Amino acid sequence: METKIVFITGASSGIGEGCARKFASQGWNLILNARTVSKLEKLKSELEAANGVQVYILPFDVRDRKQAALALETLPEKWKSIDVLVNNAGLVIGVDKEFEGNLDEWDVVIDTNIKALLAMTRLVVPGMVERGRGHIINIGSIAGDAAYPGGSVYCATKAAVKALSDGLRIDLVDTPLRVTNIKPGMVETNFTVVRYRGDRQAADNFYKGIRPLTGDDIAETVYFAASAPAHIQIAEVLLMPTYQATGTISYKKKEE
C-alpha cells in the first residue's frame, strides 16, 4: 500500500508537533512547516529514526505568500501528492479590549489565522482535486463559537475558520475531498505563553485547577478524522477538557 503524505503547518510545537508525532507513528510520510529550522530538523531526525518514515521540512513563515508558493512549487515530485493538509499554524497576542488593542499585533493574528490558511488551501487543494483525493483539516477553536472578554479579534479569526471550512466543504461537495474543522477548548501549549506576551506565570495560572488538553490530545482527534473510511466526512469536532463547558465557563478546583 502506498505511503500517504500529510502536510502540517506550524509543526514545530504544540498541536502541530503532536500531529507530526501521531501521523509518523502510523507510518505516514510528513511535510513539516514552521519558521524555526533547528526545531524542524530536530523533529525530522527524531521521527525518521523512531518510525522509519520520511520527513521533508519546509521552513517558511505562512504569512509570506510568495515564500509559501515558492516552497510548494519547488517540492520534489514525489512529495507533491499531498493526501492531508493540516492548517494548524495560528496564534493570539494579548488579552486587550477591542478598543485598546495593538493594530500591528492584530495584523499578525489575522494574517496567520485567516489569510495564511487561505493561501495554503489555495496552493494545495487544486492538486488534491486533480488527483481525486484529499482531506483538509483546519484547526479552529471553541473561540470561534462565541466571543469572550479580551479575545474579540482572535474569536473573529476562529469564527472565520469555521466559515471558511464550511464554505470549502460546499465548494468541494462534488468531489471525494473531505473538510474537517477541529475546535479545541483549553489546550496547554506555548500558544498561551504567546497570548500573554511571554509571561509564563500568567499562562500557567490560566490552567490552575483544571487538567487542560495537550497537543497530543488534539492530534488524536485530528488523526481520527483523517483515518475515517473514505465515505465518512467528520465535518466538525468540538473537544474540551472535562470541567470545561463553554469558552467562558469552566470549573477549576481551588488549591489547598
Q: Give the separation between CA 206 and CA 198, rounded to whole angstroms.
A: 13
The reply to whether 26 falls in a domain is: yes
253 is a domain residue: no
Query: Cα–Cα distance between 173 and 129 in angstroms, integer?
Result: 11
- Domain assignment present for residue 69? The answer is yes
* 28 assigned to some structural domain: yes
Burial call 224-239: b when 16+ CB within 10 Å, e when fewer:
ebbeeeeeebbebbbb
Burial degree of 25 (CB within 10 A; 0-12, 13-18, 19+): middle
Name the stretches of the chain with pLDDT < 50: none
CA 78 to chain centre: 24
Per the structure, the count of domains in the chain is 1
pTM over 0.85: yes
* Strand residues in the chain grouped as ranges (E): 5-8, 29-34, 55-59, 84-87, 135-139, 178-184, 236-239
**Which of the following is catalytic: 4, 22, 154, 183?**
154
Would residue 60 be called left, alpha or beta, if left means φ above 0 and alpha means ψ between -120 and 50 degrees?
beta
Structural domain includes residue 59? yes
Q: Write down the pLDDT at residue 37.
A: 96
Predicted pLDDT of residue 191:
87
Residue 82 CB-half CA count within 13 A:
30
Q: Side chain identity at 181, as an amino acid letter?
A: N
- 249 belongs to a structural domain: no
| Per-residue pLDDT at 193 | 87
Report yes or no on 124 lying in a domain. yes
For the range 44-48, what are the long-range contacts, defined as Cβ-Cβ under 8 Å and sequence gap of 24 or more? 47/20, 47/21
DSSP H/E element including 224: helix 215-226
Whether residue 63 is contained in a domain is answered as: yes
Domain with 118 in it: 5-239
| Active-site annotation holder among 4, 22, 158, 183 | 158
Q: Which CATH number goes with the domain that contains 69?
A: 3.40.50.720
Per-residue model confidence (pLDDT) at position 1:
64
Length of the chain: 256
**154 an active-site residue?**
yes
Q: What is residue 256's predicted lDDT score, i.e. its pLDDT?
A: 58
pLDDT of residue 254: 85
User: Can 158 be counted among the known catalytic residues?
Assistant: yes
